[in-house]
Structure formats: C-alpha cells, structure tokens
Amino acid sequence: MEQIQLVSLTVFAGIFSQILAYKLRLPAIVPLLLTGVLLGQLNILNLHHMEEGLHTIIQLGVAVILFEGGLSLKVRQFRDAPLIIRNLVSLGVLITWLMSACAAYYFIPDLHNPDGFKIALLFGALITVSGPTVILPLLKIVKPVRKVATVLKWEGILVDPIGALLAVVLLTFINTGAMGYDSIVKAFLISLSIGLVFGGLAALLMYRLLKINDLIPEEIRNLVVLTIVLAVFSLSNWIMPETGILSVTVAGFVLGILSPQGLKEIESFKGQLTTLMVSILFILLAARLDLAAIWDLQLPGLFVLLSVLFVIRPVNVFVCGIKSQLVLREKIFVSWIAPRGIVAAAVASLFAETLKETPAFAQQAGYIESLTFLIIGGTVFFQGATARFVGRLLKVVEPDPNGVVIIGANLPARLLAKSLKGLGIDVMLLDSNSALISKAKKENIPAEMANAISQDTIDEIEIAGFGKLLAMTPNEKINILACQLWAHEFGRDNVFRVGVYNEEYLPSAATKLSGEGRLVFSPIVTQQWMQNHVGTFWEIHKTELDSKDKVQNIQQNIKNESIYPLALVRNSKLTFFETGLDIFEGGNMLYFKKAAEKKKSTAPRKKEKK
C-alpha cells in the first residue's frame, strides 16, 4: 500500500473511531486501540516501510497534544486542591516510578539481572504519565465533582512532560552507562530549566504578536500559533533531546494565563487539531503493536498490571493526599482513575526501537513496549468501563445537569426563575447589576453578581447540576456572546436566548449551527415586549397537561395568541418552547397569560434599571 493510501486510511479509521466513541459514550482510546490493532493484525495497515516518517509524526503529534493540554489548565481551579496536585507531579512521580520498576523487576523473570533492572526502571518512568488524551474525555463522561476533576485534570496534563523527561534522562543513562546518579539529577534539572525557559519565552512571543493590532490577519492567527509551537518544540529538542514536550506544555499554560485576543478561537482550533493527532497516533501505534509479545507476558504481566491498578496507584494518592482537601471517598476515586495515554504509548514505541539497536538490551527491549501497552490497555479498558459506576457508588459524581442558568435578573427573568423553581428545576440567575441581584435574593432566588460573558465566571461559580443556559438580558450582543461562551460548557444544543426586539426567529437548526443560542418563546415575546407587559398586563401561569382535552385547549389558545408558551417540565426535565415544538399529554407547562381585569393598572409600571 502506498504511503498516501496509508495516511488516508489512518485518518479515516481515526475519525470513524472518534464518532463511534461519541455514540457509545466511551473514551475515544477504546475504539481507537481496537481499530488500530484490527487493521494491523489483518495487515491492512503495514507500517514497516515508513518507520522514519512515523517517528516524526509521533513527535509532532505529541507536541500539539501537550500544547493544547497546557492551554486547558485554569489557574483559578488550582486552588481547589493545590497540595495534592503538587505532590502527585513530584513525590507521586517518584513513588509510581520506583514501585512500578520494582513490580516489573520482581514479576518478570527475564528482568532478573542488572541490565533487566535498568529496563524495569525505564518502564517505571514511562508509566508515571497519565495524559489529557484519556483523562479529559473520561471526565466528560463521568462528570465527577469539580474538586476531583481538577486534581485528575491537572495531574494528567502536568505529569506527562515530567514523566517523559524522567524517562529520557534514564534512557541516556542506560545507553551510555557513564552517568552517575548525581549526573541523572543534574541532567533532569537542566532539561527542566530549558523546557520552562523556552516555553515561557514562546508564550510571551505569541502574546506580543497577537496583541499588536493588524499585524496578523485573523484568518491565519491560529496557524501562526501552531508554527511557533512546532518551532519551539524543535528548537528545545535540538538543544537537549526531548525537552520540547515540556516547552510546549509550558507555552500553552502561560499563554492561557496571558489570555490574548482570540484565545477562544485558538483553543477551539487546537482542540480539533489535537483530536485529529490523537486519532492518527493511536491508530498507527496500535497497528504496529506486537500482540504476541503482550500475550507472552501471561501471569507475570497480569501481576504487574494488578500491582499498578490496586497497589501502586492507591499508595501514590493516599501518600500525596495527606493533609489535602480531599475526603476519603474522593481519594478512593482518584486512586481508581489513572489511565495511561498517547505520551506513554508514543515514547515507549520510540524507546523500544532505540534500545533494540543496543546489543546489551536487544533481547529485553521488547518488554518496554509490551509492558507499557499492557498497562495502557488494562487501565483504559478497566477504569474506563467502571469509572462512572464507582463514581456514583462513592457519591463523587455531579447530579444530572437539569438546572438552568439564566443570564439576567430583571423582572421577567425572576418571575420565570420562581416558576421553574416551583416545578423542581434548579435555577441560578447571573447579572452584573447589584440591585437586581439583591432583589432576586430577597425573593429567595439563587443569584450571583457576575460577568456572564467571562470565562472566569464559569471557572469560579459552582455549576454542578446545571446543563442549560437562557440569556434574557435587554442587550442582544451580550445574549449572543453568553451563548457562544457557555456552549463550550453545556453544548450548542443547550444554550438559548430570548429575542430583544421583533427580530426574525431563525429555524432552530440554523441557530444551533451558528452557536449564537437558539431563539425561544413566541416571536412576539421579546425582551421589549416583556419589559412593557410582564408583571402588569401579563403574568406567568402554570397548568398540568394531564388530559388530551387540556392539551387541545392549550393548543387552541396558543393559536389564538391568548397565551404565549414558555417551557415544558416533564419528569424533572426542562424544555423551552420553540416555534414548531409539539405539545402533548404529560408534565407541566408555563406560559404568559393576560392578568385578570382587577389587576390591570392604567399607570405605567416603573421600569427597572437595566
């Protein structure tokens, strides 16, 4: 098969596996590994004649993945559990490294010699990494409470470059045999310094370039960032091998802190690119995997895997978690979750090829790759399959996200919030107007004074249990921006807004694709209309749709425009009314209806401050 056909098949298989993972609600690594192994074993994907190109693809892919991982770290989340995170990426790496090395040396008979112990040490270093490519999708599926998610997310991203650097220094030591233990420490610190300095400088360069107006056209801004990432990765590796992985992680982290113009677009672009690179790399690495070598590990290999899962990881977490903010059940859950990802797979494959060229380690080098992939497969399949169940059992999973965040605390928003709250829906109002927030709190409505179009708000407020957003401010631009921002948190299907004036209501499919929020309620019920009518001439009413007659009556009233539907609540699930929504029997319905004659007033209602 020609190389262009190999690449095309790899990309197709990777994206197909991603779709399969989404549909089956599995970590993407599961179908990626299975698909790659299948293609390799059937000899459909034969990679023996493209080893040199494969090495380059792996390196560049890892660079993009770790940069995107650094970008996703949020400093404000770090204060939720700073002590245990620091411990896990320092003391925890040491514990995992040495205990894993001892397990491999003890259980694998072929490693019972001085050279075998060096191989065991290298294996231990390789599996200290966790990885955002596995942790982040798993967290999206499991949805643990924020404190636990923060620990796992930070550990997964920060431990990758640190563990990989440790492995690189050890490989140099094994190959030369001339370095003493003091030299290993020295080489590690030098590598660490190079990664930190070059990563920080790259982030500052990107920030300055993006800050200068009209210097870089908007349409190539993402490509400029990608170019600098690949350049700093290559430069760091040229100065000292394998320091580039730390440089790009630091660059992403610092750039996220500096938050230049267009950061959201950069994150979105890098996220899509990372998905592509992960798909390609896992397919390629799994296709070239020697299943016979893994099978030959048999019981000794199984004992190593069980040690990593049920002994080494819990010891690591409980030692690092001393005096931390995590309670016992949270520590148990963190102990349960430590799947290895693409960095472990990629570096293990590269190291195995390197050691096979060294006569002293040629026969034992295969254990590096086979043991590492055994740990990857074992942790991903076992922990991925059980994480949700264990999380629920330990009560560390967020409640089902049925609640709604309402942007705006004006009178119509407060009336709707009270009605929804009365039907058992969790509600939170967000507004930058302190007077309106004060009114909401006096009415016993959960409310926070915050900037709804700032990422800091999402990071800082507790949104566990909330899965929908409704923008109800009199400012159309704010409503659209809020929907675009919160769509990253809740998904495009779950962000809605109310029209401000008599604007044209787009079809829901078009608004869904635009990311600007789906327009809800009747086209007549705009912000302008509600400010003039709600609370004086029109009120919110509730009715139970418990019979077909009631449903028909409601449908007739909607047709006559004597009522304007707002929302349906069935089985504690909220659905906002959109044009064309079918109304059928079951649940409760909220709608605007004219107030009774005695409640009408000719005096104009005093408008609230916007």
Per domain, the residue ranges of the chain are: 3-393, 403-599
Q: Tell me which residue of 75, 479, 71 sits closest to 265, measured CA to CA.
A: 71
- Report how far residue 109's alpha carbon sits from residue 116's, in angstroms, rounded to the nearest whole number: 9
- CATH number, domain 403-599, options 3.40.50.720, 3.40.50.300, 3.40.1350.10, 1.10.287.470: 3.40.50.720
Q: Tell me which residue of 63, 32, 53 sits closest to 286, measured CA to CA.
A: 32
In this prediction, residue 415 carries a pLDDT of 92
- Reduced to 3 states (helix: H, G, I; strand: E, B; else coil), residue 534 is strand
In this prediction, residue 290 carries a pLDDT of 81
Sign (positive or negative) of CA dihedral 447, 451, 457, 463: positive
User: Do the beta carbons of residue 352 and residue 369 sit within 8 Å?
Assistant: yes
Low-confidence ranges of the chain (pLDDT < 50): 504-513, 598-601, 610
CATH code for 3-393? 1.20.1530.20
In this prediction, residue 276 carries a pLDDT of 86
Q: Which residues contact 329 (CB under 8 A, 6 or more apart)?
A: 394, 395, 396
In this prediction, residue 512 carries a pLDDT of 47
Q: Using N-to-C axis directions, what is the helix angle for 244-258 and 263-287, rounded to 10°? A: 150
In this prediction, residue 382 carries a pLDDT of 87
In this prediction, residue 444 carries a pLDDT of 92
- Report how far residue 357's alpha carbon sits from residue 352's, in angstroms, rounded to the nearest whole number: 9
Sign (positive or negative) of CA dihedral 203, 205, 208, 210: negative
In this prediction, residue 201 carries a pLDDT of 94
In this prediction, residue 4 carries a pLDDT of 78
